[in-house]
Amino acid sequence: MRRVLALAVVLVLAALMMAGVNQLPPPGQADQPVHRHVAADYVAGGAQAGGAGNLVTSVLLHYRALDTYGEVVVIFAALLGVLLVRSTGGPPTRPPSRLVPVSPVVDQVVRLMTPFIALFALFMIVEGHVLPGGGFQGGVVLGALMILLSLILGPERLRGLLPIGAVTWVRAAAPLVFLLCALAGLGLAGWWFALPDPGWLREFVLVALELAIGFGAAAALTGFFLSLAVDGHH
Amino acid sequence: MSPNDVFDLLILTLLIGCALAIARLKDLAAAVVLFSIYSFALCLLWVHRGAPDVAMTEAAVGAGITAVLFFYALTRTGRREK
DSSP string of A43-108, one letter each residue: HHHHHHHHT-SSHHHHIIIIITHHHHHHHHHHHHHHHHHHHHHHHS--S--------SPPPHHHHH
Of the candidate ranges A71-75, A88-92, A93-97, A176-180, the one whose mean pLDDT is the lowest: A93-97
Average pLDDT over residues A82-109: 73
pLDDT score recorded for residue A234: 38
For residue A122, CA distances in Å to A115, A139, A214, A229 come to 11, 8, 9, 26
Average pLDDT over residues A21-44: 79
Nearest to A143 by CA among A126, A132, A158: A158
CB atoms near residue A64 (< 10 Å): 13
Residue A48 has pLDDT above 80, yes or no: no
Mutate to test the interface with B, among A29, A137, A158 (most CBs of B within 10 A): A137
A229 and B56: CB-CB below 8 Å? no
SS3 state at A231: coil
The DSSP bridge partners found for residue B27 are B80
- The residue type of A113 is M
Residue partners of B79: CB distance under 8 A and separation at least 6:
B27, B28, B29
Query: Is this prediction's ipTM beyond 0.90?
Result: no
Across A75-84, A89-98, B40-49, which has the greatest mean pLDDT? B40-49
For residue B51, CA distances in Å to A12, A104, B47, B56 come to 33, 38, 5, 9
B57 and A147: CB-CB below 8 Å? no
Average pLDDT over residues A216-222: 89
Share of chain A above pLDDT 90, in %: 26
How many pairs of residues across A and B have Cβ atoms under 8 Å apart?
43
Q: Measured on CA atoms in the order A234, A114, A126, B37, is the torsion positive or negative?
A: negative
- Helix axis angle for A164-188 and A199-229, nearest 10°, is 150
Q: Which residues on chain B are in Cβ contact (under 8 Å) with A229? A: 72
pLDDT score recorded for residue A232: 43
Give the pLDDT band (50/70/90) at residue B58: very high
Dist. CA A209–CA A202, nearest whole Å: 11
Report the predicted TM-score, pTM, of the whole model to 2 decimal places: 0.82
* Contact present, B41 and B15 (Cβ < 8 Å): yes
Q: Closest-CA residue in chain A for B62?
A: A140
| Element of type H or E holding A34 | none
CB burial class (10 A; 0-12, 13-18, 19+) of residue A31?
Answer: exposed
Average pLDDT over residues A219-228: 85
Q: How confident is the model over A63-90, as pLDDT tens digits?
A: 888 899 999 999 899 989 988 887 776 5
* Contact present, A216 and A99 (Cβ < 8 Å): no
* Contact present, A185 and A191 (Cβ < 8 Å): yes
Dist. CA B59–CA A140, nearest whole Å: 10
Mutate to test the interface with A, among B36, B68, B69, B71 (most CBs of A within 10 A): B68
- The residue type of A65 is A
| Element of type H or E holding B72 | helix B66-76
